[in-house]
Amino acid sequence: MHASPNEEMAALWNGASGKAWVDEQVLLDQTFERIEAMLAGEVEASGARSVLDVGCGAGATSLAVARRLGDRGHVTGIDISEPLLAVARERARKWDSNIGFIRGDAQTHAFEPATFDLMISRFGVMFFDDPVAAFANLRRAASPGGGNGSVS
């Protein structure tokens, strides 16, 4: 493990990798559109009202879920990449949706306890430096019974 968790990942995603994903966002959105639609449908069916998207990147999955939930819920995306979050925030402004974004590391971020009914992640959790610590932190942010659904 490094001096601070995900230090190398943060440097990578705020540099060349973040820029590369921003540059390829249209292709990535097209590639994963069907998966995001299916995930958004499952989130809607779950009855979740407060959703955390871990490693939300440029926000495509967060936005798909927010559109499905409408005024019945809220989505929060968290990511360590400011370049990707800048895209996510711009996209959210265009949709005027029930969504917010946090620049932070889900592994160590001080989430308000018992906040989220459901947590989703397209790719973000695979980058945790310390998965045990990360999931323990996320569990504290889950509302009672949160995270026990079938959506993953």
Given the structure tokens 């968290």, which residue do they identify? 78
Predicted pLDDT at 1: 46
* Range(s) of the domain holding residue 81: 7-141
Predicted pLDDT at 21: 86
Residue 150 within any structural domain of the chain: no
Calculate the alpha carbon distances from 51 to 74, 75, 143 in Å: 6, 5, 10
Check: CB of residue 27 under 8 Å from CB of residue 63.
Answer: no
Check: CB of residue 134 under 8 Å from CB of residue 109.
Answer: no
Residue 148 within any structural domain of the chain: no
Q: What pLDDT band is residue 150 in, cutting at 50, 70 and 90?
A: very low
Given the structure tokens 């019945």, which residue do they identify? 72
State how many domains the chain has: 1
Residue 152 within any structural domain of the chain: no
Percentage, residues of the chain above pLDDT 70: 91
The mean pLDDT value of the chain amounts to 88
Q: What pLDDT band is residue 7 in, cutting at 50, 70 and 90?
A: confident
Predicted pLDDT at 122: 87
Q: What pLDDT band is residue 149 in, cutting at 50, 70 and 90?
A: very low
Calculate the alpha carbon distances from 26 to 23, 50, 53 in Å: 8, 27, 20
Q: Is the pLDDT of residue 2 over 60?
A: no
Q: How far apart are CA 147 and CA 140, in angstroms?
A: 11
Q: Is the pLDDT of residue 14 over 50?
A: yes
Q: What is the DSSP letter of 116?
A: B
Instruction: Give this prediction's pTM.
Output: 0.87
| Sign of the C-alpha dihedral computed for residues 140, 45, 101 and 152 taken in this order | positive
The CATH code of the domain that includes 58 is: 3.40.50.150
